[in-house]
Structure 1
Amino acid sequence: MNDAPACTVCRNDLFADEWDRYCCRPCQQRITADLAALAGPVTWHDGRLITGLFAALPDELEPGARSNGPRVSGSKSAPIPARLAPLSDSANGGLVNSLEEWVADWEHRGYATRCRAVRPQYRLDQAVATLRFNLDTAVRCHEAINSFAEEVREIRGTCEALIIGARPPRPLSATCHCGTRIAFTLNTEFRHCKGCGTDYGHTALIDLALANQEAAA
């Protein structure tokens, strides 16, 4: 009988020297890679955007824009209306806010310190830097590191989808019984309420959102 604890992210058994962790080292490396891809200036390698996904979003505000390489100047004609999804995701309260909520959660637990910034790009870079710096502690101390890993992966996927012109998963939200808003998509498998610590699986999230709608009707 195998009594080895499992990684909460990939569900594979942890090695004996990983039993003090909630997730395995490969999953931690993937979280680090997802965070690193979001922050900093736009960097290309072999025609692929490898860092600066968030910084690339403003280039996608005009319909038809694509970040297939270095941007060149376009027409002098009047600009056409902005696409709303990238604008929302790159503005205050969008993707940046989701990362900052995790920083606040980790700060409350005693292993992160929030940095104050104003511009969305600076806020994003600060949040990513803080989360990466404290990740080694979080994988050992935070029982919902799987929720964090999934949310960071979804944020990266949303940015990548917007940049290539694909349709990202529809953002949804539900309000926990403690009053905390929980953001998720139809692809989300798990979320941890940062307000009270309640864990929600996919079905529970959908049920909670439906119950919120019924209560508001």
Structure 2
Amino acid sequence: MNDLPACLRCTRDLRDHEIGRYLCGPCEDQVARALTEIPALYARLADHLHRGSSNGPAVSGSKTAPVPLRLDVLDLQMEKGPVLGVLQGWVRDWEFYGHAELHETDTLQERVAGACRTLRYNLRWAATHHPAIDECADELLAAHRTLARTVTGERPARHVTVTCPCAQPLRITLDTRGITCPSCGTGYGHSDVLRLPLAERRAA
């Protein structure tokens, strides 16, 4: 169990009822929501596999040349891709601790859903006992963001530049969970880095 006073992921100070955990309650809830939504988002990838398609698969019987596949979507569907590969990687890891069981004989969609159920069911244990739960949370949330942006067309988070008190500019997004200033070594959690002043734009 964690003997540090802060969440490993967002670096927020743990409240009294969270002491002993590696992951704070809000971060655990965020991962739980992602695991709940990933299977449905993964299933929708098939509707976006062809370039120019967003509402469904290409119509068969057309005399025109087939629409080329989107390799980025195809990569997301692959067994060792950034979705199922990540999910099964953490299932294997948790299986070592006796808190998961990997199934590799189902369809890819069923394996995604099964991995998400397993990780969701054992998430409370991991938040309290797994010392790499922050790395796991980051990878699962990254997979969820990639899926969501692919099926909804949402643009990636916009980067902004803020300034550390030492005058070092820092590039962040609203999703930045924390950052360490390379100049003075000060570490900022998610809420702290968002409170830093915006960097002044240089004159053209």
Candidates 70, 73, 86, aligned match of 1:83: 70
Cα deviations by residue, 1:1-21 (Å, 9 ceiling, x for unpaired): xx9700112111111121121
Give the TM-score normalised by structure 1: 0.65
CA drift of 1:167 comes to 7.2
Indicate yes or no: 2:92 matched with 1:107: no
Indicate yes or no: 2:45 matched with 1:57: yes
**Which AA in structure 1 matches 2:13?**
D
CA drift of 1:110 comes to 2.1
CA drift of 1:105 comes to 0.4
Contact 2:48 2:57 in 1 (8 A): no
Cα deviations by residue, 1:39-67 (Å, 9 ceiling, x for unpaired): 1xxxxxxxxxxxx1000011111101125
Cα deviations by residue, 1:83-123 (Å, 9 ceiling, x for unpaired): 11111111221120111000000111222222333311011
CA drift of 1:166 comes to 5.9
Cα deviations by residue, 1:159-197 (Å, 9 ceiling, x for unpaired): 12222346779xxxxxxxxxxxxxxxxx9989xxxxxxx
**Which AA in structure 2 matches 1:144?**
A
**Secondary structure in 2 aligned to 1:127?**
helix
Pairing 1:169-188 to 2, within 5 Å after superposition: none
Distance 1:96 1:29 in 2: 21
The unaligned stretches of length 5 or more in structure 2 are: 158-172, 183-204
**Which AA in structure 2 matches 1:120?**
L
Using a 3 Å threshold, how does the CA distance of structure 1 residues 127 and 166 change in structure 2: closer, same or farther?
A: same
The unaligned stretches of length 5 or more in structure 1 are: 40-51, 170-186, 191-200, 204-217
Cα RMSD after superposing both structures: 2.9
**Which AA in structure 2 matches 1:25?**
G
Q: Give the aligned partner of residue 38 of structure 1.
A: 38
Using a 3 Å threshold, how does the CA distance of structure 1 residues 105 and 138 change in structure 2: closer, same or farther?
A: same
Higher RCO (C-alpha under 8 Å, 6+ residues apart): 2
**Secondary structure in 1 aligned to 2:122?**
helix
Q: Give the aligned partner of residue 157 of structure 1.
A: 145
Distance 1:114 1:167 in 2: 33
Distance 1:19 1:117 in 2: 40
Distance 1:106 1:6 in 2: 23
Aligned residues: 158
Candidates 78, 83, 92, aligned match of 2:79: 92
Indicate yes or no: 2:120 matched with 1:132: yes
**Secondary structure in 2 aligned to 1:23?**
coil
Distance 1:111 1:20 in 2: 19
Indicate yes or no: 2:130 matched with 1:146: no
**Which AA in structure 1 matches 2:149?**
A
